[in-house]
Chain A
Amino acid sequence: MLELVLFSLLNGLVFATLLFMLSSGLTLIFGMMGVLNFAHAGFYMLGAYFAYTLTGYLGFWPALVVAPLLVGLLGAAVERYGLRRVHRFGHLAELIFTFGVAVVIEEVVQLAWGRTAKSYEVPALLDFPLFRLFRTSFPAYKAFMLLVSVGIFVFLFAILTRTRAGLIIQASLTHPGMVAMLGHDVPRVFMLVFGTGSALAGLAGVIAGPVLGTFPGMAQVLGTIVFVVVVIGGLGSLTGAFAASLLIAIVQTFAVALDVSLSSALATVGLRMSAGGMLQDLWKVTIAQVAPIMPYLLLVLILVVRPTGLFGTRET
């Protein structure tokens, strides 16, 4: 039991930090521009594909640096030459624009790399079990993922709260007009944040590609869940994104481990369900079986109870 809890916790943590890397960029961009960036998961996918191709030429380690940079540049370009122009037509236009970019990215990826999954593998240097506890081993690559994600989190937090640039970004989030009056180039700040957010998503793709698979549907798989994270955490809140990532990852990982169904839960308090009956399937569904929809259940619950999200300040 201890083994199950411990390793579920570790796996949950790895997934949580990955989710955070994706959602931090998304929530910052939203906080700043008031637009949900549908293309965000697309940048995550591009990160994985760039890294896959670059690994063939440069090896994994250079790719780890170059791929996110490329994705960041692309993100900045999308903001500079696309989003900025669309901005004056209002939020709806921006929303549709990012949606369009997401579709374009997915199609381009399919054109360039094909529709089947790519064999983007864990680098040989990290392809060994880090430690073995009881009967389970923990792969070194997952520890590496954890390390990179935590490093990024600390770095991001330090920049936002300890540096002058962070100060300006934070100010631009809430008072863009005032910051511009003080002589700062707010559009450039927007572009930088959008680029950095995209680069972070790209980095998440680079390190998640070997574990979660590199295929054209990978953006969709994580895309929806990242929105859930951002909404639960509170739109625009970095702390919220972190808390929500942890919450969702842990809930999802542990839900798989629970074989409890409604009928077995009722049985423990002395109620027996008849074996037949119309709803018998419903009673027998275990929590493990509904694990993948748990985040969405949580989303609905949060929206009903606290529409601003856990740490948010404005209504979603």
Chain B
Amino acid sequence: MSRAKSVFIGTLTLALVASLASGVTPADPIRIGYVDPLSGPFAATGENGLKQFRFAADAINRAGGVLGRQIEIVPFDNKVSPQESLIQLKKVIGEGIHFVFQGNSSGVAHAISDAVLKHNERNADNRILYLNYSAVDPALTNEKCHFWHFRFDAHADMKMAALTDVIKANTKIRKIYIIGQDYSFGKAVAEAAVSMLGKKRPDIQIVGNELHPIGKVKDFSPYVQKIIASGADAVITGNWGADMVNLAKGANEAGLKAPFYTYYAASDGVTAAIGAAGVDRIRLVHESHPGNPSPPKMVGDYIAAYKKLNPNNDINQPRIHTGLNMLVLAIKRAGTTDVDKVAMALEGMEWTTLSGDHVVMRKDDHQLLMPIYISVHTNKSITYDYDNSGFGLSLESKVEREMATQPAACKMDRPT
């Protein structure tokens, strides 16, 4: 108790010192927190995300920054743990940072979102803005939405709607197995899959609906065995990071031939793990042109420039570019780093992504409305591969923004 208290007072003092020290001279950079895993089973995803943020930030800084100031990405390692994230968030606040990006794990996102809401309600003069670039549990912009949370990725239901459309068209699929990580996002994927398949293809039988502990399973053989035993002829999974790499490894080892419909089965080691066994079999739903075949020029140039600096990483989250640039534009339009004013500027903001898509930040629930792409894992006509493996994603179909939009179900209080 007394220790917690002293830590709290320490944080307060730090915050005070930091607030006195920063924001005085115009040359100070605008610091933007990045709270994501930089160690543990999801470190590969977090590290690559950080590199993509820094790459996007460098481009913005070369173009003169914003309000005459540079921007700086400050990383905080949360080990994908909600508890650890709250500690890191305290640090963020303590260092006088007002903008926080986080994306990996909706479990973490809920914790941060709640904490940001509480903090902002109590500290009207020292608010923070939570910019979610990847946590896609629909609840974050629906029942749990609030004014200081913005999401730059299509949520799980939007993506599942696109995936189930593809499944709907494939009449060969009769039995589907759903496997996911045991937390809010995995559950959201499973729920959406069951309800949407029920409407679009009532003849499809769900032969398995499995949740495994997140980041704990190293050998997926028992799970793959179960999938094979179920006789499934397609698998849906929301797995990401090490859980996707290991699932792909297990499936390859056991010779599982069923097609996979996934959210994150590419890059950060996953593409290399899938390899030749997954060609034309693994599909992925995402937010941007995958770079193959014949990408828009902006996408190609961006990937090439990034690969030059980071030969071992890939641009697998173009939404990072979108999110950071939209924030910077909002700061520019607001003419200040005042969180409430920046948030107001973000509401309804339109932006053209690298892929040339017009996206809109919906005012009602702070969900970015965007088209959705479905791509397949292959090595045919791949210009920009992932994991330097020779394999990559090739675009198969695109759902336009208007079609991908889902109704808003958010009631939020705005600051007056």
Q: What 0/1 readout, one digit per residue, does chain B (222-233) give for beta carbons within 8 Å of chain A?
A: 110110110000
Q: Give chain B interface residues in 193-223, CB to chain A under 8 Å.
A: 208, 210-213, 216-219, 221-223
List chain A residues, Cβ under 8 A from B219. 11, 15, 211-212
A116 touching B44, Cβ below 8 Å: yes
Bound together, the chains give a CA A15 to CA B219 distance in angstroms of 9
List chain B residues, Cβ under 8 A from A15. 219
Whether a CB of chain B sits under 8 angstroms from the CB of A295 is no
A1 touching B229, Cβ below 8 Å: yes
Bound together, the chains give a CA A111 to CA B211 distance in angstroms of 34
Whether a CB of chain A sits under 8 angstroms from the CB of B116 is no
Q: Report which residue of B213, B217, B254 has the largest number of chain A beta carbons within 10 angstroms of its beta carbon.
A: B254
Bound together, the chains give a CA A119 to CA B389 distance in angstroms of 12
Bound together, the chains give a CA A221 to CA B226 distance in angstroms of 23
Q: Which residue of B lies closest to A213 (CB)?
A: B218
List chain A residues, Cβ under 8 A from B43. 115-117, 215
Bound together, the chains give a CA A280 to CA B219 distance in angstroms of 30
Q: Known: A11-B219, A115-B39, A256-B223. Contact between A213 and B255, CB under 8 A?
A: no
Bound together, the chains give a CA A8 to CA B250 distance in angstroms of 13
Bound together, the chains give a CA A184 to CA B228 distance in angstroms of 57
A217 touching B225, Cβ below 8 Å: no
Q: Known: A11-B221, A11-B225, A257-B226. Contact between A215 and B210, CB under 8 A?
A: no
The distance from the CB of B275 to the nearest CB of chain A, in whole angstroms, is: 10
Q: What 0/1 readout, one digit per residue, does chain A (280-296) give for beta carbons within 8 Å of chain B?
A: 00000000110110000
Bound together, the chains give a CA A256 to CA B269 distance in angstroms of 25
Counting chain A residues whose Cβ lies within 8 A of the other chain, the interface size class is 35 or more
Q: Known: A1-B229, A4-B229. Contact between A221 and B218, CB under 8 A?
A: yes
The distance from the CB of B111 to the nearest CB of chain A, in whole angstroms, is: 20
List chain B residues, Cβ under 8 A from A11. 219, 221-222, 225
List chain A residues, Cβ under 8 A from B213. 292
List chain B residues, Cβ under 8 A from A254. 222
Whether a CB of chain B sits under 8 angstroms from the CB of A234 is no
Q: Give chain A interface residues in 116-147, CB to chain B under 8 Å.
A: 116-117, 119, 129, 132, 135-139, 142
List chain A residues, Cβ under 8 A from B357. none
A129 touching B226, Cβ below 8 Å: no
The distance from the CB of A307 to the nearest CB of chain B, in whole angstroms, is: 28
A136 touching B269, Cβ below 8 Å: no
Whether a CB of chain A sits under 8 angstroms from the CB of B296 is no
Q: Which residue of A lies closest to B47 (CB)?
A: A116
Whether a CB of chain A sits under 8 angstroms from the CB of B396 is no
Q: Report which residue of A8, A115, A138, A212 has the largest number of chain B beta carbons within 10 angstroms of its beta carbon.
A: A115
The distance from the CB of A34 to the nearest CB of chain B, in whole angstroms, is: 31
Whether a CB of chain A sits under 8 angstroms from the CB of B40 is yes
A212 touching B218, Cβ below 8 Å: yes
Whether a CB of chain B sits under 8 angstroms from the CB of A37 is no
The distance from the CB of B269 to the nearest CB of chain A, in whole angstroms, is: 7
B255 touching A136, Cβ below 8 Å: yes
Q: Give chain A interface residues in 4-24, CB to chain B under 8 Å.
A: 4, 7-8, 11, 15
Whether a CB of chain A sits under 8 angstroms from the CB of B242 is yes
Q: Known: A7-B225, A217-B41. Contact between A117 and B269, CB under 8 A?
A: yes
Whether a CB of chain A sits under 8 angstroms from the CB of B400 is no
Counting chain B residues whose Cβ lies within 8 A of the other chain, the interface size class is 20 to 34
B182 touching A289, Cβ below 8 Å: yes
List chain B residues, Cβ under 8 A from A138. 254
Q: What 0/1 readout, one digit per residue, does chain A (88-127) give for beta carbons within 8 Å of chain B?
A: 0000000000000000000000100001110100000000
A135 touching B217, Cβ below 8 Å: no
Bound together, the chains give a CA A226 to CA B43 distance in angstroms of 25
Whether a CB of chain B sits under 8 angstroms from the CB of A245 is no
Bound together, the chains give a CA A189 to CA B255 distance in angstroms of 47
The distance from the CB of A131 to the nearest CB of chain B, in whole angstroms, is: 10
Q: Which residue of A lies closest to B229 (CB)?
A: A4
Q: Known: A129-B255, A256-B222. Contact between A136 and B41, CB under 8 A?
A: no
Whether a CB of chain A sits under 8 angstroms from the CB of B282 is no
Q: Which residue of A lies closest to B241 (CB)?
A: A117
B225 touching A117, Cβ below 8 Å: no
B210 touching A137, Cβ below 8 Å: no
The distance from the CB of B321 to the nearest CB of chain A, in whole angstroms, is: 22
A136 touching B254, Cβ below 8 Å: yes
Whether a CB of chain B sits under 8 angstroms from the CB of A3 is yes
Whether a CB of chain B sits under 8 angstroms from the CB of A253 is yes
List chain A residues, Cβ under 8 A from B218. 211-213, 221
Q: Which residue of A lies closest to B246 (CB)?
A: A213
Whether a CB of chain B sits under 8 angstroms from the CB of A223 is no
Q: Report which residue of B38, B40, B223, B245 has the largest number of chain A beta carbons within 10 angstroms of its beta carbon.
A: B40
Q: Known: A1-B229, A4-B229. Contact between A289 and B255, CB under 8 A?
A: no
The distance from the CB of B190 to the nearest CB of chain A, in whole angstroms, is: 12
Bound together, the chains give a CA A213 to CA B229 distance in angstroms of 26
Q: Which residue of A lies closest to B226 (CB)?
A: A257
Bound together, the chains give a CA A132 to CA B228 distance in angstroms of 13
List chain A residues, Cβ under 8 A from B210. 288
The distance from the CB of A8 to the nearest CB of chain B, in whole angstroms, is: 6
The distance from the CB of A224 to the nearest CB of chain B, in whole angstroms, is: 11
B228 touching A3, Cβ below 8 Å: yes
Q: What 0/1 readout, one digit per residue, does chain A (42-59) give for beta carbons within 8 Å of chain B?
A: 000000000000000000
The distance from the CB of B169 to the nearest CB of chain A, in whole angstroms, is: 25
Q: Which residue of B lies closest to A7 (CB)?
A: B225
The distance from the CB of A63 to the nearest CB of chain B, in whole angstroms, is: 20
A135 touching B39, Cβ below 8 Å: no
Whether a CB of chain B sits under 8 angstroms from the CB of A216 is yes
User: B-side interface residues toward A, CB under 8 Å?
Assistant: 38-41, 43-44, 47, 182, 208, 210-213, 216-219, 221-223, 225-226, 228-229, 242, 245-246, 249, 253-255, 269, 272
In the complex, 15 of the A-B residue pairs with CB atoms within 8 angstroms, ordered by the A residue number, are A7-B221, A115-B39, A115-B43, A115-B47, A116-B47, A117-B41, A132-B255, A135-B255, A211-B219, A213-B218, A213-B245, A216-B39, A217-B40, A257-B225, A292-B213
Besides A1-B229, A135-B255, A211-B219, 10 other CB < 8 A contacts? A8-B222, A11-B222, A115-B38, A117-B245, A213-B246, A215-B41, A217-B40, A217-B41, A289-B182, A292-B213
